[in-house]
Amino acid sequence: LQRQGQLDEARPLLEALWARSEEAPTQAAEAGLKLADLALQRSDDAAARALLQRLVELEVSNSIDRAARIRLAALDAGPGQK
């Protein structure tokens, strides 16, 4: 849905997956990364930062942690550096 430009349709599905973090942590974390990406596309840096920081705290996997930290570093770098 995201690739087809249907961000409004993708978000509820991703939010449902994100809510299942205890049942399926890896899938929830991947959904969290996508939600952060959608927030960045909407220029909602605060929401993206909150999601990414939560992903780092969850310590789901090295790859999720790395991806979240890279996105946080891009946010910290400021506009034009993402």
Instruction: Using alpha carbons, list the distances in angstroms from residue 2 to 27, 76, 79.
Output: 17, 25, 23
CA distance 27 to 2: 17
Please tell me whether the overall predicted TM-score, pTM, comes out greater than 0.85 for this model: no
- CB 51 within 8 Å of CB 32: yes
**How does pLDDT run across 36-80, given as a tens digit for each residue?**
998 998 899 999 999 999 999 999 999 999 999 999 999 999 875
CA distance 65 to 54: 10
CA distance 14 to 39: 12
**How does pLDDT run across 2-41, given as a tens digit for each residue?**
566 666 777 887 888 778 777 888 888 999 999 999 899 8
